[in-house]
């Protein structure tokens, strides 16, 4: 098993999590979870409270065989909004999250999506942000072989894109290194990394199948291809 395979994303889980013997986290549904062998346990974040149906903005960690601990990021430049996806990178030993927050621009109410990074219990860093226009049905975060993060956006009907993301240490912002775009298939879950490339569980036409891709195109390769078409 590769190191990348040691982090598994379980996004937007519908089954409720009920706290044993009154221990945290609080009972909830529609939460996001990720298991990391590197971190030695499971992270659970956000969701909807079963008690009053409110949106939760917390993050919890449970080491295998251990007790739950509240590791919600505090401080930094932002607070958590509605959590959409999460993973843990062994490269920087930090949580990566995608959330959504309401914003207002010139009296227009919009939703902003953000790519965040945080140490467990530490402050949040905003690596990238965008205006959510409602096209994306689901977001996923997973980990590549070398600890880089794969951010995947699946559209409502069909089509998805996966970006391989690292952090620019000078600007502390996200840098897209590779990008794979599929305009035809409907994605059913987070992509997975294997020793021979990447796998996507998709609906192709009327059939479900695993789409395998050996490499993700780099931005320089995409740019060179576009330039060759214009010549």
The three-state (H, E, C) secondary structure of 144-202, written as one string:
CCCCCEEEEEEECCCCEEEEEEEEECCCCEEEEEEEEEECCCEECCCCEEECCEEEEEE
Going by C-alpha positions, the residue among 150, 151, 146 that lies closest to residue 130 is 151
DSSP-assigned states of every residue in 104-131: EETTEEEEEEEEEEE-TTS-EEEEEEEE
Q: What would the pLDDT profile of 145-186 be if each residue is shown by its tens digit?
A: 889 999 999 998 899 999 999 999 899 999 999 999 999 999
Q: Is 60 exceeded by the pLDDT of residue 2?
A: no
Give burial (CB, 10 Å; 0-12/13-18/19+) of 181: exposed
Q: What would the pLDDT profile of 103-125 be if each residue is shown by its tens digit?
A: 999 999 999 999 999 987 678 99
Q: CA 212, CA 79: separation in Å to the nearest integer? A: 37
> pTM higher than 0.85 for the full model?
no
């Amino acid at each position: 098993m590769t190191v990348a395979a040691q982090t598994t994303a379980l996004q937007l889980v519908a089954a409720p999590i009920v706290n044993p013997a009154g221990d945290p986290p609080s009972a909830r549904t529609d939460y996001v979870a990720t298991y990391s062998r590197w971190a030695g346990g499971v992270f659970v974040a956000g969701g909807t409270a079963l008690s009053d149906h409110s949106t939760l903005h917390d993050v919890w960690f449970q080491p295998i065989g251990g007790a739950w601990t509240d590791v919600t990021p505090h401080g930094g430049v932002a607070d958590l909004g509605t959590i959409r996806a999460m993973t843990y990178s062994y490269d920087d030993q930090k949580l990566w999250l995608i959330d959504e927050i309401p914003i207002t621009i010139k009296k227009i109410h919009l939703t902003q999506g953000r790519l965040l990074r945080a140490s467990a219990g530490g402050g949040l860093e905003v690596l990238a942000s965008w205006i959510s226009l409602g096209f994306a049905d689901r977001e996923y975060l997973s980990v590549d072989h070398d600890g880089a993060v794969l951010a995947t956006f699946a559209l409502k009907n069909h089509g998805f894109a996966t970006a391989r993301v690292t952090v620019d240490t000078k600007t502390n912002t996200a840098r897209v290194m590779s990008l794979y775009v599929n305009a035809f298939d409907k994605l059913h879950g987070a992509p997975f990394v294997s020793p021979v490339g990447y796998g996507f569980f998709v609906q192709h036409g009327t059939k479900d199948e695993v789409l395998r891709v050996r490499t993700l195109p780099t931005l320089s390769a995409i740019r060179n291809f576009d330039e060759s078409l214009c010549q």
